[in-house]
Amino acid sequence: MKANIIESSKKRIVIVGGGFGGLQIARDLADSNYQIVLIDKNNYHQFQPLFYQVATAGLEPSTIAFPFRKIFQHKKNVHIRVAEVHKVNPEINQLETSIGVVDYHYLVIAIGADTNFFGNQKMMDLAYPMKSVSEALTLRNTLLQNYENAISETDREKRKGIMNVVVVGGGATGVEVSGTLAEMKKCILPKDFPELDFKQMQVYLLEGSPRVLNGFSDNASSKAHKYLEELGVNVFVNSRVKDYDGENVFLEGGKAIPAKTLVWAAGIAGNKIEGLKPEVIARANRIKVDRKNLVEGYQNIFAIGDIAYMTEANFQNGHPQVAQVAIQQAKNLSKNFKNLDANKALVDFSYKDLGSMATVGRNKAVADLPKWKFAGFFAWLIWMFIHLMSIVGGKNRLFAFINWAWSYITFDQSLRLIMKPKERKRI
């Protein structure tokens, strides 16, 4: 059965995934001579860099999500379909999806990446990832419910385990969520739960390498480490998790940390799509592409963003899996589609590194920009401005700004709600 999509005399570009890259291409080509079909399992775009703020009750999920149909309301050439993509059949230019078969002239794979548990089944079952709005909301519910449960726990040692949080992975996400949790412990949670002694609560950040923020400069890494310790985070570098049973985190070397909540931010791997040749799949499920983002061995299939594995002179092991790579690749590919339509030569992609930033807490951030490297309050202000302006939708930006301003002034916010979906009985 074919999916119900309006037939057109224009060539059809099917984009799988509405993340930073997929959304950018759809926007760039919305008024082009192509028919655009954007397929995503959700009906909204998610602003991934702020998932941790949803998880720690700093922002509501709706603030960092924006519906695709609202973005393309007046773009009749863009067709949105909410569906799961099961398989690509390159020989006949078709996608198998949950709503039927979708034909394409050109296919853009922008399915991004998901949490990489490195084959550890216990972590998959018991740890909390943060690669979607729903996962961030699940973590928020868990954290808040834990403190509700801790009030009723009479055993002191069990109460410690309920209150403790272990974060695995010292990249930007791990650093940001650890710092925010430490600030909640200091400024917010004691006001909500005066019956609990938050001196018992410990936040741990575990990193397997010798330092946090591995992709940053030495100065940024050392500053972030210092800021975390000032906030009271227990930072353990050269520390690898051996096992977890839902109650205790066991490290290599024998140390055990009691914790009911383990946040996994230790790595990512590309989302899988069936139907491509095995030889085009690189490490961590990334898809090998050339400098034009064309998948190796195919003439009309492209991949961009986290899922794409492209090498160039300064990136022999592939580009970093960050938003800027996806956006820049999308812009270059959009130009190449217009070049194709005009019978012009295609242009190679070259990544321009705009720098890296991470916030550690209130007035504390690190920034590695192409010409400057700095840390502290000014870096924090720049981080806030860049992230605020990157959120899709003026209303969402306003709400984010109001929440951040209120939190800054009052050392508090009012978003600590435990939202549990009700299970419906089906006959």
Please state, in angstroms and rounded to a whole number, the distance separating the CA atoms of residues 298 and 90: 8
Residues 175, 282 share a domain: no
Select from 239, 266, 293 the last residue of a domain: 266
Residue 423 has what pLDDT?
61
**Which amino acid type is present at position 56?**
T
Residues 316, 240 share a domain: no
Residue 235 within a domain: yes
Give how far the C-alpha of residue 217 lies from the chain's centroid of Cα atoms, to the nearest Å. 22
Residue 40 within a domain: yes
DSSP secondary structure of 276-316: S-GGGB-GGGPEEB-TT-BBTT-SSEEE-GGGEE--BTTBT
Select from 341, 374, 393 the last residue of a domain: 341
Task: Look at the chain and report how many structural domains it folds into.
Answer: 2
315 Cβ contact list (under 8 Å, min separation 6): 351
Contacts 24+ apart (CB under 8 A), 346-349: 346/292, 347/292, 348/291, 348/292, 349/291, 349/292, 349/293, 349/310, 349/312
Which structural domain, as residue segments, surrounds residue 163?
121-266
Q: What is the DSSP letter of 33?
A: S
- Going by C-alpha positions, the residue among 238, 264, 265, 223 that lies closest to residue 357 is 223
The stretches in the chain having pLDDT less than 50 are: none
Residues 221, 289 share a domain: no
- Residue-wise pLDDT for 248-269, tens only, equals 999 998 899 999 999 999 989 9
**Would you say 287 and 274 are in contact if contact means Cβ atoms under 8 Å apart?**
no
Residue 420 has what pLDDT?
75
Residues 178, 156 share a domain: yes
Residue 425 has what pLDDT?
60
Residues 293, 249 share a domain: no
Residue 52 has what pLDDT?
95
Residues 110, 221 share a domain: no
SS3 22: helix
- Going by C-alpha positions, the residue among 16, 19, 262 that lies closest to residue 131 is 19
Please state, in angstroms and rounded to a whole number, the distance separating the CA atoms of residues 161 and 232: 17
Residues 127, 108 share a domain: no
Domain containing 218 — which CATH number?
A: 3.50.50.100
Select from 212, 236, 266 the last residue of a domain: 266
Catalytic residues: 176
Residue 119 has what pLDDT?
86
Residues 179, 103 share a domain: no
Residues 99, 15 share a domain: yes
Domain containing 33 — which CATH number?
A: 3.50.50.60
- Residue-wise pLDDT for 115-141, tens only, equals 999 888 999 999 999 999 999 999 999
Residue 109 within a domain: yes
SS3 218: helix
Residue 360 within a domain: no
Residues 136, 88 share a domain: no
Q: Residues 331-352, buried b or exposed e (16+ Cβ, 10 A)? A: bbbbebbeebeeeeebeebebe
Residue 275 within a domain: yes
Please state, in angstroms and rounded to a whole number, the distance separating the CA atoms of residues 238 and 229: 16
